[in-house]
Amino acid sequence: MAKNLTKKEKFNDFSLKLGDVLKKLGISPNGWTFISLILAIVAVIFIIKNNLIVGAIFFLISIILDIFDGAVARATNKTTKFGGFFDTVVDRYVESLIFFSLLFISLPNLFLPIYVWLFILLFGSLMTTYIKAAAREKGLVNEDLRGGFLGRSERTVILFIGLVIGNFFPIVLSWIIFILAILVNLAAIQRFFLARKQSSLRK
């Protein structure tokens, strides 16, 4: 009888197969991470020029390449602490750059100026990462904080969809920014209480 694999096991299996293919290109894991950052900068240029669809495409490719680095690292047994650190830093830069680029396009305001919601969105996205890192650093959890909703992958997919639709209907992108700004801060608060809960279970 075939073994029922968990989602994590299925992803790891897919990642190893992908890494076996990509390693033939001779690009290091950190090289893939750096390329994803360059493509994000290209996406920013197109978004600033108000070409949201092309910008969204480069943004999506950047996110896809972010998967490649881990796949190649596993396939070549080159997983390192610095590689994980570099990947996390680049992830934050990519997301922040996209938020920054949206300041330069004309979007309808919702209740508050749109730049306020972009700041709240950026703040919340950074806090979700910081809370996770702080919980580990301060010894509240032994491993990375697990659980919670609206992770980076979900945010990037929603933002990609918003960029594509926003090219035709800017008000939709404004609403997506507004909703993400609220949800990502709720996610940060949720992580805070998850860290507190997991800490109390260790006592």
Q: Do 71 and 30 belong together in one domain?
A: yes
Q: Do 73 and 123 belong together in one domain?
A: no
Q: Do 201 and 116 belong together in one domain?
A: yes
Q: Do 68 and 21 belong together in one domain?
A: yes
Structural domain contains residue 4: no
Structural domain contains residue 196: yes
Q: Do 73 and 142 belong together in one domain?
A: no
pLDDT attached to residue 121: 92
pLDDT attached to residue 91: 85
- Cα–Cα distance, 181 to 70 (Å, whole number): 28
Whether the pTM exceeds 0.85: the reply is: no
Q: Do 130 and 167 belong together in one domain?
A: yes
pLDDT attached to residue 176: 93
By the 8 A CB rule, do 29 and 69 touch? Answer: yes
pLDDT attached to residue 120: 94
Distances in Å between the Cα of 70 and the Cα atoms of 82, 127, 183 are: 12, 24, 28
**Residue 45 domain boundaries:** 10-82
Count of the separate structural domains present in the chain: 2
pLDDT attached to residue 195: 77
Q: Do 71 and 119 belong together in one domain?
A: no
First to last CA, the chain: 41
Q: Do 113 and 201 belong together in one domain?
A: yes
Structural domain contains residue 91: no
The dihedral of CA 51, 57, 58, 59: what is its sign? Answer: positive
By the 8 A CB rule, do 114 and 171 touch? Answer: no
Q: Do 119 and 67 belong together in one domain?
A: no
pLDDT attached to residue 2: 45
Low-confidence ranges of the chain (pLDDT < 70): 1-24, 26, 70, 75, 78, 141-148, 198-203
Domain boundary among 24, 50, 82: 82
Domain containing residue 179: CATH number: 1.20.120.1760
Structural domain contains residue 87: no
